[in-house]
Amino acid sequence: MRKTGIRSRQENRLFYTLLGHCLQHGALPYENELSMWMRGAAAVVDGEKIYLRDVHNWCQKRSDVRKRRIMEKETSSLAKFLRPFALSSWEYVLDLIENELEYVDYVDYCREKKGLDYSAHLSKTLDFLGTTDELYFGAMEDWVNGSLGISLSEASHFDAIYLVGLGEFDSLFPNHIPIAEHLRFFDHWQMDVAHLPGLHLHTSFSRKKGSQGITFALKIPQEVHVVLNPQGGWIDLETLFHEMGHALSLIFTSPALSPTEKDFNTSSTLSETFAFLVQNMCFSPSFLERQLGLKPKEIDTISHYKALKDMAFFRRYAAKFLAEYKMYEEKTIGNGETYASILKKHTGFTYKPETQLFDLAPELYSLDYVMAWMGEVSMERSLARNLGEEWMFKPEAGQILREWWRSGNRDEFEESLSREGIGPLNSSDILDRWKKKIKQ
């Protein structure tokens, strides 16, 4: 089926888009069964019923260490029950890829689709994690001990979810400003986002919505939707601006591009890079002072913990990539022990082996995130170099970004960085940012 000789970029994108739909369609019965069981799955903590879809928000807004220990036990039991349903979907996909489509393994499939040298990225990821061990573990130990009163070795990934929500610093956030009002910031880029043709913003609170933000395009660039369910605090600002990074890059995509240049891609790394750029921009000292009115000491505090949060996220996804690569190569999709031990080693937080399949995104997406974080810092440095540290308040920034966004998915991620004079992709820029912002 796949032995068609050398394909052009357009043919490759079309082939893998269609193949993706084929795999998704075939796995749908298994996914539907899992979804049916998960819909009613809930943990009970001190008499409170928390559905699985709400656990993330519950950890960040309504939990403490004791309650999170109960949640850990509850979700462990639920994961053990649901695991066979999650596993059946993956077994179907892997069997089709390896036996019918004749890829060596799932890594081989991802390699051919995305054109990435995963073994090279594996080596670089391991080296970079080793380089940042001392900076990360010292700062994270202090944060866990100071905030939770326990050591990092005692902390679970539910504690990590609480910490990275930055809820303990919500007193510094101007909650008196409605979240939608922050969209007026984009006026600096001469973008009236409330009235941009094709952009639909759904930012009001609703109990019917999940707590996670999402952006989806029904037609690029003619119809793009941003869905947000405000919960209060810093997490709302991060989520809103992250999703706006996705949405604006879609809305300003040139309609003249062919479908394979705007609608189809083999990786979402470039889109994630734009999302991280806009998200992290709102934690720059200039934004915190001018847009949110924070004082210097408050800026130092939130900058430190935001950088440490980002580093924790980076290491988590880097560790996920290592674990997933090993799992696919060894064809041990059902074994969560590797996942739990590798994430514990590189994040310090405890993960349960039985939860592995519920933390597994397709196509080694964890590496896409890692690459996007590195690309975002290089993008931001390019803008600061050309426009100054307060680049985000200048209309020229909007002009530059619109020009970048016009290209849609025409170029692959690293090609785009090179074309705009940003690349090559490197880890030194992000390390420099962390060293400057994280107090040692």
Write the CATH number for 389.
1.10.1370.30
Look at residue 247 and tell me if it is in a domain. yes
Look at residue 403 and tell me if it is in a domain. yes
Q: Which two tokens stand for residue 166?
A: 């930055």
Look at residue 30 and tell me if it is in a domain. no
Strands 48-51 and 199-202: unpaired
Q: Distances from the Cα of 355 to the Cαs of 4, 294, 337, 417, 424, in angstroms?
A: 39, 39, 10, 36, 36
DSSP H or E segment with residue 216: strand 214-219
The per-residue pLDDT for 192 is 96
Name the residue type at position 46: D
The per-residue pLDDT for 6 is 62
Q: Reduce the DSSP state of residue 335 to 3 states and report it.
A: coil
Contact 294, 285 (CB under 8 A): no
The per-residue pLDDT for 388 is 97
The per-residue pLDDT for 3 is 53
Q: Which residues pair with 7 in a beta bridge?
A: none
Contact 348, 308 (CB under 8 A): no
Q: Which two tokens stand for residue 288?
A: 């915190």
Look at residue 187 and tell me if it is in a domain. yes
Question: Would you give per-residue pLDDT tens digits along the chain (440 residues)?
Answer: 455 556 788 999 999 999 999 999 999 999 999 999 999 999 999 999 999 999 999 999 999 999 999 999 999 999 999 999 999 999 999 999 999 999 999 999 999 999 999 999 999 999 999 999 999 999 999 999 999 999 999 999 999 999 999 999 999 999 888 888 999 999 999 999 999 999 999 999 988 888 889 999 999 999 999 999 999 999 999 999 999 999 999 999 999 999 999 999 999 999 999 999 999 999 999 999 999 999 999 999 999 999 999 999 999 999 999 999 999 999 999 889 999 999 999 999 999 999 999 999 999 999 999 999 999 999 999 999 999 999 999 999 999 999 999 999 999 999 999 999 998 999 999 999 999 999 87
The per-residue pLDDT for 2 is 56
Look at residue 404 and tell me if it is in a domain. yes
Count up the domains in the chain and report the number: 1
Bond prior to 221 in cis (omega within 30° of 0): yes
What do you get for the CA distance between the two ends of the chain, in Å? Answer: 55
* Domain range enclosing 356: 117-437
Contacts of 219 (CB under 8 A, 6+ apart): none
Range list of H helices, 50-117: 55-61, 65-95, 106-114
